Structure formats: C-alpha cells, structure tokens
Amino acid sequence: MGKRISQRKSASLFESEEDDTLSPSSTTTYDDTQEQEFDDSGLEKYLDDLYEKRGSTQQSALSFTIDAFISRLQHQFVENNCITLLHQCLNSIKKGSSKEISLACRVIGLLALTVGRGNGAAHEILEDSITPLSQALISGSGSDSLKISSILDCLAVVTFVGGDDDPEEIKRSLQIMWQFIHSKSGPNVNASKPPVAVLTAAISAWSFLLTAITGLRINSEIWQHSLTRFSRLLDKHDRSIRVASGEAIALIFEIGQQEKLSASAQMQGLRVKILNQVRDLSVETGGKG
C-alpha cells in the first residue's frame, strides 16, 4: 500500500490538470517546429533567456523548459547543463514572482527526476536546493498558496530522488514540511494558519516522502504525535485535508506494523478514536470521504 501511495503522490506532485501555471503544456500538441525547439540547442537558448532580467522572459523560458522535459527525456542536455540550470532556477526562487517561483520549482523537480536516483548529481541538486527552498518557505507569505505549495512539492521530489536513501537527509525535509502541518511549530509562529491548499500540499508532500524512509527507527512518541495531529485534521470541513490526512494515517499505521508501534493504552485509545472518526466520515459522506 505504501508503494502505491508513493506512486500516486509522485505523479500528482508534478501533474495538475487544474492549474494552468503548473501545467503549461497540458493542452499542447507538438509539431516539427516545437520538436526542433526541444532539442539541445533550443533548450540552451531557453537557458540563456533565464539570465535576462525581465520576468516575462524568464517565465517564458521556464515554461518552454518544462514543455521540453515533458515531451521527451533530455539526458544529454541535463548531463551538460544540470547544475547551471539548477542555479538559474534557484535564482528565480530567490527573486521571482509567485508564478516564476512555481515554474522554477517544477523545472527543478523535473530536472531531479531526469537525473534519477543513485546519481551524484541528484544529491548535489538536493544539497544546493535545500537552503534556498527552506529560506523561501520562511520568508514567503503563508497566504501565497501557489508559491508555498510549489516549493513543498519541489522539496519532496528533490529529497526523494537525491536523498540516497539517507534517513537523516529525508528526516530533515520531513521536519521542514511538518512546520506547515503543525503550524504552531512553524517558522512564522505568529502567522495565521496556512490556507487549505498549503496545508493539503504539506500533508501530501510529507506522506510521499515518508514512503522513502528505510532504516530509520522512529520513536513511538513521534508517531503518536503525528497521529494525534492528523486525527484532529480529520475533523476539518475541507475534504482535501481529510483525504490527505487519512492517507497519512494509513501510511503511518502501515509503517507502524513493521516497526511495532507502541501498544500503550494511549496509543490504543488513539487507534480507536481514529477508527470511529473514519466510520463517522464514511456514514456522513456516503463513502466519499
């Protein structure tokens, strides 16, 4: 089940039919001219455009780069330009508009996926990205759902690909995401609660990354704290939050079976509470969550 959840989430993090900004090529059909644009020379032109100061030029270059990566694997271009493209995207994240940041995050995610797991460049992408992404989350407005959600998705993907199955690398990113799930522990403790889209994105990214953990023993108290938080979120009115929280709970219990979660009275009471919540939600919504 954890594997299925991982596969479903990895697809959803960088594929959205509802957000035109995140899917600039969703309705595109490619002709011969576009195929030519998507070869190495065309991509290098777009890479050069990322050095331009005009925001619209950079956004256009990022959009075309996304189209190129989606249209076919760009192994040769990535081999020659991986870190250069990465740092231009990180510059956009540091200085760009919300839309530009969203596009840059998606390029970085696609770049990491193209490089693939077990590659030294994938780990370099993670190490070079973690600080700029974290700083953008801290400095950004919590109400900017597009920006924050895109950064969280990007962080999940680059960590999943570049973490080299290192539990500590993954744990670091999980802790960053948790700050948005449990907002009282977040970087802006005085800020208002995160919007629904941000909270949902944080839960989904956190759950997705949790599937990558191998060999890390997690204290039962941490599991209990996580389950308590997600149990509270099951009472939220927004369906997307309930669904994301339910998937997180299912994943925790699946991992917990392997790690033998504490059989304490408190944990058993939490299990019963969650089971009753799920039953009530099923009755209230006719099985639609």
Among 189, 216, 243, give the residue marking a domain's end: 216
CA dist., res. 210 & res. 156, Å (int): 10
Provide the percentage of residues in the chain whose pLDDT is more than 90.
Answer: 53
Q: What is the CATH number of the domain that holds 166?
A: 1.25.10.10
pTM of this structure: 0.81
Domain count, the chain: 2
Phi, psi of 166 (to 5 degrees): -85, 110
Whether residue 224 sits in one domain with residue 136 = no
Whether residue 231 sits in one domain with residue 103 = no
CA dist., res. 46 & res. 178, Å (int): 35
The string of pLDDT tens digits covering residues 184-193 is 644 444 456 7
CA dist., res. 16 & res. 4, Å (int): 19
Instruction: Please give the residue range of the domain that contains residue 159.
Output: 2-216
pLDDT at residue 24 is higher than 50: no
Is 244:200 a contact under the CB 8 Å cutoff?
yes
- For residue 17, what pLDDT is reported? 40
Mean pLDDT of the chain: 82
Among 192, 216, 240, give the residue marking a domain's end: 216
pLDDT at residue 91 is higher than 70: yes
Among 216, 246, 279, give the residue marking a domain's end: 216
- For residue 7, what pLDDT is reported? 46
The string of pLDDT tens digits covering residues 144-175 is 899 999 999 999 999 999 997 788 899 899 99
